[in-house]
Amino acid sequence: LKIFPKPTALVNAAPPYGHVVCSEKWRTSSLLRGLKAGLKILFENELAVADFLLPNKVCLLYVSEGDMVAGNGFRRKLVRYRNASSSFQQLVLAERTRLSEQYFSALQKFVVLDLGLSLLPVGGQTEASQLITQIVHGEGRENPFRRRTSCRLLDSITLAMVQQIPGVGKVRAVTLMQNFPSIQEISNASPAELEPLVGQASAQQIHSFFHAHLTPGN
């Protein structure tokens, strides 16, 4: 792991390929230690609410198990993150553990349905560091003259999220995404719109899943 001082100009621009810009608070974390060989880490005190900036114009905000267990205070940070003026694609990483499991569905509903952001569950900082490394190294294998957007990454994240809906496997998830490109559109679809794609029973399950999460108090 190589640590380099970071020019201030990188705060509002994507870091170079092979680099990650990290908030200073992560300097001594196990997440940072877990980032694999070859990544250059640039520290920044003024990332606003984002925790990491990646070379493919993706920024990440990390919600820990402790954040969820402590209460809803982190939601204000999520709202500020969503409202931040940024040219980066905003993603949220959240720890889904035995302790945080009971809070996760409410967080998922808030992040995905209320804020319109993409949420990716991770088992902890080690898994998060592996994900960040995978994203950065994945960019490095691309033709540098044909830089991809984050669309394929986001498609894979959305696919994983759709598969978490009861009654939806990979085949049905792909079918749903071909007809409803976002989680919001799936959640707004009526059972009658869903039924031709996934069948009556699954259509009702999908509709009930979202409406159960949207009832007052959940």
Other beta carbons less than 10 A from residue 126's beta carbon = 13
**Tens digit of pLDDT for each residue in 95-145?**
989 999 899 888 988 988 888 888 888 889 988 888 888 777 765 444 343
Reduced to 3 states, what is the DSSP secondary structure of residue 183? helix
Q: Indicate the domain borders of the chain.
A: 2-149, 163-218
Tokens standing for residue 144:
């540098």
For tokens 């889904």, what's the residue?
Answer: 96
DSSP strand pairing (58-63 vs 52-54):
antiparallel
**Tens digit of pLDDT for each residue in 58-95?**
889 999 999 999 988 889 999 999 988 667 888 899 99
> Cα-flanking dihedrals φ and ψ of residue 44, to 5°?
-145, 130
2-149 carries CATH number 1.10.3720.10: no
Tokens standing for residue 214:
């949207």
For tokens 């990646």, what's the residue?
Answer: 54
- The class of domain 163-218 in CATH terms is mainly alpha
What's this model's pTM, rounded to 2 decimal places? 0.66
